């Protein structure tokens, strides 16, 4: 019986690839989707879960009767729980509270214990899901902390399985690979393998508004993270499993456009996938609008199943409560704002300028924040609030600009939709416009308001 599997674990992988037709009709490129949600645990994370356990068994970190502990958004936990049940291990998983109830219920159904922590916490906060999981692993006898954010079994699983599968299934004919950035293991492993086969294949990461990856990729600086609703992608820190050297570009997307595309995938393509899958398709569309061609072949990875989001993305009431069913207003992109502003002078200061001089420059130009540069690269911004707090300190120490730099900015490019910029400027004070040459401009909230008024005819 050669077509009969010994257990469900041997069914992991060899997921199909299908062509997208309706949702990508505006493109000349051929766009394909790899359906990773058809793995046994309904996500791409089954691959890393099995390899993580096997590697831990081989190294002696995971022993008979042990407990697997992990910080997870739900998908890695499901993969670990499936393998753990078959192999005789116990599981304990820690999830942020923004994860869907369906994910929590699935983990419990597989026999895992689930602990829920607040979402909006710094990764260094002892109450964060990663810190709680790590502490539990340390305090639980015979426990193994899977730690997908630092465990290289994550990346190696995709280098050994997902990458070769894609290359074989596409017959070596691939120009662009697009996938979400979560732990970074998928895109790093697949990207490394595909680049070894053909260095010209472009690897494009997908990052939600509120995550730090986009800004870090384009500036090398950490910015201020904030919460977003899409699950499974994005982070507020840099995992060691993400290799930025594998990436050719990162595209930023927002919750609303991702969720709308996710619903379209189900209705128009018959693909019942999760929100990160919609994000990957939206990002592929954005990227290909500027890189389109009839001979281009693009592959997007659909990471998990829509069955985990029936109470959210596929629920009209939830979508309405979040304001996602309101029709989108066509606000254009950053390039249109820049054109309307004309040749506005870009004001920056060097990192070693005295703060007293910085105050003078800001007063001269009537601005409340200013970018700080070091050897041609962006270091951060200084805000008038930081200067005021510094001036009011009892210890009057002469400081340089770099001493008061902060990361309360976001980065955009000329193609970034205004809807995305406006969402980010609800959380940070200023958007820095970047191109291949570096910093080219600054956008503030008033710039966005004036643009919206022009476009909508508001007075």
Which residues are CB-contacts of 397 (< 8 A; sequence separation ≥ 6)? none
Please return the burial class of 248, using the count of CB atoms within 10 Å of its CB with bins 0-12, 13-18 and 19+.
middle
Which residues are CB-contacts of 284 (< 8 A; sequence separation ≥ 6)? 24, 31, 176, 178, 204, 298, 300
Beta bridge partners of 400: 354
Using CA atoms, how far apart are residues 377 and 205, in angstroms rounded to an integer? 22
Angle formed by the axes of helices 445-456 and 334-341, to 10°? 90
Using CA atoms, how far apart are residues 129 and 137, in angstroms rounded to an integer? 12
- What beta strand segments (E) does 254-408 contain? 297-302, 349-350, 369-374, 377-383
Which residues are CB-contacts of 222 (< 8 A; sequence separation ≥ 6)? 212, 215, 216, 238, 407
Catalytic residue among 34, 45, 195, 312: 45
> Taking the alpha carbons of 387, 391, 396, 398 in that order, is the dihedral positive or negative?
positive
Structure tokens given for 222? 């950490």
Which region, left, alpha or beta, applies to residue 270 given φ > 0 means left and ψ of -120 to 50 means alpha? left
317 is catalytic: no
Give me the active site residues, please.
Answer: 45
């Amino acid at each position: 019986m050669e077509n009969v599997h010994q257990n469900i674990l041997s069914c992991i992988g060899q997921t199909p690839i299908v062509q997208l037709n309706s949702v990508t009709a505006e493109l000349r490129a051929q766009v394909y989707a790899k359906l990773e949600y058809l793995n046994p645990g309904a996500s791409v994370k089954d691959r890393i879960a099995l390899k993580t356990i096997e590697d831990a068994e081989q190294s002696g970190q995971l022993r008979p009767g042990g407990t697997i502990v992990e910080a997870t958004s739900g998908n890695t936990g499901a993969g670990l729980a499936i393998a753990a049940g078959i192999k005789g291990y116990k599981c304990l998983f820690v999830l942020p509270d923004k994860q869907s109830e369906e994910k929590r219920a699935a983990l419990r159904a597989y026999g895992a214990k689930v602990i829920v922590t607040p979402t909006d916490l710094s990764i260094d906060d002892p109450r964060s899901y990663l810190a709680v999981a790590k502490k539990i692993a340390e305090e639980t006898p015979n426990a193994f902390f899977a730690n997908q954010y630092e465990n290289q079994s994550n990346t190696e699983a995709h280098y050994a399985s997902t990458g070769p599968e894609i290359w074989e299934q596409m017959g070596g004919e691939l120009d662009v690979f697009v996938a979400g950035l979560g732990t970074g293991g998928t895109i790093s492993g697949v990207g490394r393998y595909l680049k070894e086969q053909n260095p010209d294949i472009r690897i494009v990461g997908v990052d939600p508004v509120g995550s730090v990856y986009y800004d870090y990729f384009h500036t090398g600086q950490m910015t201020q993270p904030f919460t977003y609703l899409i699950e499974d992608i994005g982070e507020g820190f840099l995992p060691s499993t993400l290799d930025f050297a594998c990436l050719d570009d990162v595209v930023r997307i927002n919750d609303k456009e991702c969720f709308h595309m996710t619903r379209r995938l189900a209705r128009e393509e018959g693909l019942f996938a999760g929100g990160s899958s919609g994000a990957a398709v939206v990002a592929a569309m954005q990227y290909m609008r500027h890189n389109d061609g009839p001979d281009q072949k693009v592959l997007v990875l659909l990471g998990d199943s829509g069955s985990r989001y029936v109470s959210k993305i596929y629920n009209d009431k939830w979508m309405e409560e979040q304001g996602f069913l309101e029709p989108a207003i066509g606000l254009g992109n950053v390039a249109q704002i820049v054109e309307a502003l004309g040749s506005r002078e870009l004001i920056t200061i060097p990192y070693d300028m005295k703060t007293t001089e910085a105050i003078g420059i800001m007063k001269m130009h009537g601005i409340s924040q200013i970018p700080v540069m070091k050897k041609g690269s962006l270091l951060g911004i200084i805000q008038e609030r930081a200067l005021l707090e510094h001036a009011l300190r009892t210890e009057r120490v002469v400081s340089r600009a770099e001493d008061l730099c902060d990361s309360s900015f976001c980065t955009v490019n000329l193609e970034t939709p205004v809807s995305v910029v406006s969402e980010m400027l609800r959380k940070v004070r200023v958007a820095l416009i970047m191109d291949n040459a570096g910093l080219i401009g600054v956008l503030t909230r008033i710039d966005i308001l004036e643009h919206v008024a022009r476009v909508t005819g508001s007075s």
